[in-house]
Amino acid sequence: MGNTLRMAGKVCSMVLVCIACSVPALAEAISSTVDKTTLLDEKQTPLGLYLTPSDAEAALSTDPGIVFLDVRDPDEVNLIGHPTSIDAIVPIAFFTYEFDAEKGGYKIVPNKDFISQAERVISREGIGKDGTIFVMCRSGGRSAMAAKALVQAGYTNVWNLVEGFEGDKDDQGVRSLNGWRNAGQPWIYKLTPEQAWISTHVGTSLDVD
C-alpha cells in the first residue's frame, strides 16, 4: 500500500509539473503610485485605475500585451510628439477652428466613431474586453473621457494616465509639473503607419519638418 501511495504521489507531481510548464507565465500585476485622493474630478474614471508615466512605462516594459492608445487630436500629436510605445492614435475629440473666448482656446467636438476606431486597434492587437488598455491625452482629462467610453462599451481593465503627455500647469501656466515628456520617458515625433490615425478626408500633403 505504501509503495502504491508513493507512486501515486509521484504521478500527481509529474502531472502538476507538466501543467505548470504548459501554462504561459501571467503578466506581473500593474503597480500604481497615483494618490487617488488628489485627482481632479475630470481625471477620474468609473474603474478607478490610474497611472503615472513611470508606472505605465514599467508595466509596458514587462507586458507586451498591453494596448496603449493616445486619444489626442492627430494634429496635436503631430506637432508635440508622442510616447514611442503607443499602439495607435485614436482621438476622443477633435479641435475645431471655432474660438472659445471663455476658455481662451479653440473648441473641441467629440469623435462619434471613437469606440469603433478603438476596437479596430484593440482587435488588431489581439486582446478582448478584459485585456489591459492604457489611455493618454495631454494631461488626463480627455483620456478619462475615453476610459469612460470604453468602460461603457464593456471593457473592464482600462487605465488612465492622469498626467498625460505634457502634464499639468505650474503657477505660470506652463505644463512643467509632470507628464510623460517631463518625466523623461521615451518619446518621438515620427509616427509609424500602424500608430497613425487615418482620416477619411483626402487633402494635399505638404513635405515640411
3-state per-residue secondary structure call for 147-189: HHHHHHCCCCCEEEECCCCCCCCCCCCCCCCCCCCCCCCCEEC
Cα–Cα distance for residue pair 154/66, rounded to 1 Å: 17
Q: Is residue 81 part of a domain?
A: yes
- 65-101 pLDDT, tens digit per residue, is 999 999 999 999 999 999 999 999 999 999 999 999 9
pLDDT at position 6: 42
pLDDT band at 2 (very low <50, low <70, confident <90, very high): very low
Residue 168 has pLDDT above 50, yes or no: yes
Q: Is residue 50 part of a domain?
A: yes
* For the chain, counts of helices (H) and of strands (E): 5, 9
Residue 24 has pLDDT above 90, yes or no: no
Q: Is residue 9 part of a domain?
A: no
Average pLDDT of every residue of the chain:
85
pLDDT at position 198: 81
Q: Is residue 11 part of a domain?
A: no
Q: Is residue 129 part of a domain?
A: yes
Whole-angstrom CA distances from 81 to 68, 70, 77, 148, 166 are 15, 11, 5, 25, 10
Q: Is residue 137 part of a domain?
A: yes
pLDDT at position 52: 97
Closest CA to 49 of 58, 64, 57, 39: 39
Average pLDDT (121-133) is 97
C-alpha cell at 186: 521615451
pLDDT at position 200: 55
The angle at the Cα of 108, spanning 104 to 113, to the nearest 5 degrees, equals 170
Helix (H) or strand (E) holding 109: strand 105-110
The strand pair at 158-161 and 133-136 is best described as parallel
Q: Is residue 30 part of a domain?
A: no
pLDDT at position 20: 37
Q: Is residue 141 part of a domain?
A: yes
This prediction has a pTM of 0.81
**Residue numbers of the domain that contains 145:** 42-188
Domain count across the chain? 1
pLDDT at position 173: 86
Residue 12 has pLDDT above 50, yes or no: no
pLDDT at position 103: 86
Which amino acid is present at 151? V
What are the phi and psi torsion angles at 158 (to 5°)?
A: -110, 125
Q: For the domain that residue 70 is a member of, what is the CATH number?
A: 3.40.250.10
